[in-house]
Structure 1
Amino acid sequence: MTTESASPPANLASMPRAEFAFPGPLRDQLVAAILDGSKTATTGLVLDYEHEGESLPEVGSRSVVIDSDDRPVAVIEVTGVRVVALARVDLSHVVDEGADHTSVAEWRAAHERFWHSEEMRAALEDPEFAVDDTTPVVLERFRLITDLRLAD
């Protein structure tokens, strides 16, 4: 994977943070997949953006990927955004998430485990939160711009 520059962008501190999952093994796996180029897509809950008071991602926007140790490790740029019902997530998106899922059903089961976890329910402040086919999700595509590990 080619990146634009090995030197960190000058405005790194002012860039939004991209935090995949919660700190721990899942985040470590997702960040590694971003850095090796196998993860070029992600899925979020519209409800999570609303709960955090954040705007949905926009094509062209850049953010700093944060690892489990709260260190900036990469800069990514959004290349596509779609909001769809959970039941409409397609295999192409699933594959581009880089988690080696071979079917939408397998991908969905993994995401439901995450979204229904105590940690996620606590973050949403809803102990009963659950997704269904109609839950709106954000399908985001991105590209790796800078691997900040190379800038050390």
Structure 2
Amino acid sequence: MWPRIGGLRTLDLGTPGEMRTNLNTLVLAGVKTATAGLLSEYAGENEDVENVGERLVLVDDHDALVAVVEVTGVEVVRFADVSWDFARSEGEGDRSIEEWREGHAGFWARMGTPVTDDTEVVCVRFRLVSAGDGGIGTGDLST
């Protein structure tokens, strides 16, 4: 199971270090409003796919709270069917769906899970609920 903070599931983007820091910064800036994961990762961790309206705690390398996001959309699609609209919403600077596919396939291969066109991908859209002062600073996850 994935870690919980205040009863909410955590969202750890990318890999620890520079990648996670950069991705978290994109979320905080409102540029990154989506993320993709492999359905097989959910099964391997005995986790359900996110639900619309669910709140997640964005965490840093030390599982410390960075922000709270709310899921606004969830779709499970074949890797080959991930849309350009979704890929752009990940906010990582890809200039085409082909570039997005190449980058994500390479990432997952480096993580030990090569993908094919038929690999099922969980496409999660979210909005930033709170960050910095207020809810995060006080530990109030309901804001």
The TM-score with structure 1 as length reference comes to: 0.82
For 1:112-127, list aligned pairs within 5 A: 112-117=105-110, 120-121=111-112
**CA apart distance, 1:108:** 1.0
Q: 3-state DSSP class of the match of 1:145?
A: strand
Which of 66, 87, 91 aligns to 1:94? It is 87
**CA apart distance, 1:18:** 0.8
AA partner of residue 130 (structure 2) = T
> CA–CA distance in 2 between the matches of 1:150 and 1:113?
36
> CA–CA distance in 2 between the matches of 1:37 and 1:69?
22
Q: Report the identity percentage.
A: 40
Which of 121, 129, 135 aligns to 1:137? It is 121
> CA–CA distance in 2 between the matches of 1:46 and 1:135?
8
Bigger strand share: 2
Q: Which residue of 2 aligns with 1:3?
A: none
> CA–CA distance in 1 between the matches of 2:102 and 2:126?
23
Q: Which structure has the higher relative contact order (CA within 8 Å, separation 6+)? A: 1
AA partner of residue 150 (structure 1) = D
Gaps of 5+ in 1: 1-11, 122-128
RMSD of aligned C-alpha atoms? 1.4
Gaps of 5+ in 2: 138-143
> CA–CA distance in 2 between the matches of 1:49 and 1:104?
24
The TM-score with structure 2 as length reference comes to: 0.87
The number of aligned residues is: 132
